[in-house]
Structure 1
């Protein structure tokens, strides 16, 4: 990772300072290397001391960085700044000690923002409970279609530190930001930003829904051109109203219905723009067809509209919005059609790890055999089941917290047949797919949208989706 773009002013910001990096991993190791390269006296503290941590520590110590494993609670003497991994909770003793000592705390996003050079590429930023990665990837595809040098960065793709310090020159960055990252990024000021949606998530980290929403809302602070919100989710518009933005910055909504002035929406199967056009009260600009969105599920169309709003805020022409959507290929395990067997579609949406994502997934199909369950993370399922009940042909439950979903089904969809597989082994997925096939009829969709995390049975949601796809393939082969 180079540091050629760092100005002398920025270098002096950290040179000679005693900086503590909290946490190893995907953000801590690069941050430690960058700060050490800029002349800071770096100490890394980490709670764990497993084999991976020891390997990372050895790599940093070879460069001259001090590493303390198994002790992430004590503030190193003389610390002038903490740079933290985004997942470290605000109530950790290290941060309490820092607050008492008046030591500022930055996240990796804040560090990258501060280290940008004077000619740095502007940021188009995206957050939300669900859909962030897809929207940022769609946005990057639109920007590339317009001939702009860009990258999808932040929680995905190129690391932010690489993007701002590397040799590659960018015209604009498409930046995915989590609530954790935004919490530790007080100075961030994007060109334009979007909050896609808000639903309870990570409340154990933030402490309350209000704190979670407030951290999401930080993305709008200081926006210069556009604050993009979801017209169907009033909480996102409320965050725009509360934000302190630059003079002239506009509130731009997106909707799956007919757009009002200063909104993007859908008319007769066409994505249209009534925000970035002349005489928006009377005119609209065609951007793309719904069929250009892959897959054309309602929540994914909303993602496309949010991406288009940010692209248009940056001056991208309509043809590039269309061409970017056509060129976009969604990541695996996001409403991915695995196969069609005997007229039944088998769809992998293992990425639906919370109720909000599962609700959007279930809304995309009319008749569903739903495979659900896993680790609930404190979620409740009554609202999800009540909203989706009329679409359910049957349900197959797996995982540690499946009883929570079973009880919600008994309350709100008692007529829907339920198969409760009392298993949490990885082989349970094949049994679940077989049971789903038994319940399904021609025209149905067997949908893996667990509404839960995967770690009770699988290493991650990718492995869970892979197991589903493999089970479907075995089914197709006559297993």
Structure 2
């Protein structure tokens, strides 16, 4: 564990920032706090010895290190001023890496098995957690999902031993931008699509942030079907790829309806991990997620049988391609977490005939490639949200014969307090378009905050509206 860090300015007091401040205070570091507003947690941290500065645009002269929130863009005046002063700026994951507690008897700290990508990170990391635990490891999911890393790496049991011996880590591009020394035991890039360019400044910068995770990892895992992810992995000293087809040596893939490992198996033909039918999560994208989780677990020493048990027992997360009900022969699936076109496309590819519920805040994303690709699957479309007309124009170009209904919502750019009633109208419209055998799929390809509090509220409203159908 690192020695005293001196005076640390924690910029942004969300979950990760507050956790960083608590750990730094417990270590005896001097902690300064800043944010755009004064959150409730400030009182607790000040009582523990921190100093609240209020909003500031330049670091105080005595600051040695800045720990920034992943939500703060690099062009924030405070972070620009810190860079001009030559101050190091890190994110909470980088801080956690530097503060890792040694293992039993002073051995190596718990290894990280890390995942990034535009979509699928949370599902893959929680799958990985389940598989590591099935293999007998005291594992936990942390980072951009679950607990803050800085808490996990410093956690101790009553006997003083570290609480975990393996950590499944989700890292976003924002977090990776502020990281420099993280060296996971294995790292994976699931996919890289056009997203968060406004934050990073360009797609190349976004791609570079994702690829940063692989630089210091002994093993790099990527999806052979994603051109950017596969290119990032290709130049690595130990590349492993996953495929939905028959795996070659150095790959994990699918053979005769089962997941097979030909990357870490001692036998040339590979080892069977689990039958596809045993997985409780649907769709080709979730098969890729399972293969990546399996690859990382194999690096951790988990045997094939335990990998299979862990994957078969995994039920998936809320609002991620979850069947919430079936009414009159129509399935209703909540994938509210599909907040961009890439994620929505992966979800839509899971079903042969779909009534698609789409729309919200597109954040400048181009939906034409998505609509053109999924048009043959569409039995109907229900549009909502502020940017619904952009989707309507794309549907008119690429799926002109597909019936669609528009539900006015999100026009004023503010959160609509009765998003639940909007969703009831949306679901009623979808029912009118659906026929037995269809799937009504909430995969909006857009953010939710024009009509709902967040994607979880949107998903709950959808599930409630489906249950109300009887």
Identify the TM-score tier after normalising by the shorter chain: over 0.9
Say which SS state the counterpart of residue 218 (structure 1) adopts. Answer: helix
Say which SS state the counterpart of residue 346 (structure 1) adopts. Answer: strand
Quick one: distance in 1 between partners of 2:225 and 2:348? 17
Which of 273, 284, 287 is the equivalent residue of 1:298?
A: 284
Q: CA offsets, 1:325-382, max 9 Å, x none? A: 1221211111111111111111111111110110001000001111111111111110
Superposed displacement of residue 448, structure 1:
0.6
Q: Does 1:170 align with 2:164?
A: yes
- 2:98 maps to 114
- 2:66 maps to 82
Which of 188, 202, 205 is the equivalent residue of 2:199?
A: 205
Superposed displacement of residue 384, structure 1:
0.4
Superposed displacement of residue 30, structure 1:
1.5
Which of 346, 369, 376 is the equivalent residue of 1:390?
A: 376
Quick one: distance in 1 between partners of 2:280 and 2:110? 29
Contact 1:371 1:395 in 2 (8 A): yes
Say which SS state the counterpart of residue 21 (structure 1) adopts. Answer: strand
Superposed displacement of residue 423, structure 1:
2.5
Q: Which has the higher mean CA deviation after the structures are superposed, 390-399 or 39-48? A: 39-48
Say which SS state the counterpart of residue 364 (structure 1) adopts. Answer: coil
Q: Does 1:261 align with 2:253?
A: no
Quick one: distance in 1 between partners of 2:80 and 2:407? 45
Q: CA offsets, 1:223-249, max 9 Å, x none? A: 12x200110012112212455xxxxx5
Contact 2:382 2:404 in 1 (8 A): yes
Q: CA offsets, 1:154-209, max 9 Å, x none? A: 11122211211111432211111111111111010010010001101111111111
After TM superposition, the runs of 4+ consecutive aligned structure 1 residues lying more than 4 A away are none
The total of aligned residue pairs comes to 452
Quick one: distance in 1 between partners of 2:331 and 2:230? 36
TM-score normalised by L of structure 1: 0.92
| 1:389-428 matches, cutoff 5 A | 389-424=375-410, 425=416, 426=419, 427-428=421-422
Q: CA offsets, 1:213-272, max 9 Å, x none? A: 100111101112x200110012112212455xxxxx510000111111100000111100
- 1:276 maps to 264
- 2:221 maps to 228
Q: Which has the higher mean CA deviation after the structures are superposed, 388-397 or 73-82? A: 73-82
Gapped runs of 5+ residues in structure 2?
104-108, 158-162, 411-415
Q: CA offsets, 1:105-154, max 9 Å, x none? A: 11100110000133310100001011111101111111111111110111
Q: Which has the higher mean CA deviation after the structures are superposed, 208-217 or 150-159? A: 150-159
- 2:469 maps to 475
| 1:28-43 matches, cutoff 5 A | 28-43=17-32
TM-score normalised by L of structure 2: 0.94
Which of 177, 181, 184 is the equivalent residue of 1:183?
A: 177
Quick one: distance in 2 between partners of 1:117 and 1:337? 41
Contact 1:270 1:287 in 2 (8 A): yes
Q: Does 1:57 align with 2:45?
A: no
Contact 1:371 1:447 in 2 (8 A): yes
Quick one: distance in 2 between partners of 1:152 and 1:127? 13
Which of 330, 347, 360 is the equivalent residue of 1:344?
A: 330
Say which SS state the counterpart of residue 139 (structure 2) adopts. Answer: coil
Say which SS state the counterpart of residue 447 (structure 1) adopts. Answer: strand
Superposed displacement of residue 474, structure 1:
1.2
- 1:318 maps to 304
Say which SS state the counterpart of residue 245 (structure 2) adopts. Answer: coil
Contact 1:47 1:73 in 2 (8 A): no
- 1:327 maps to 313
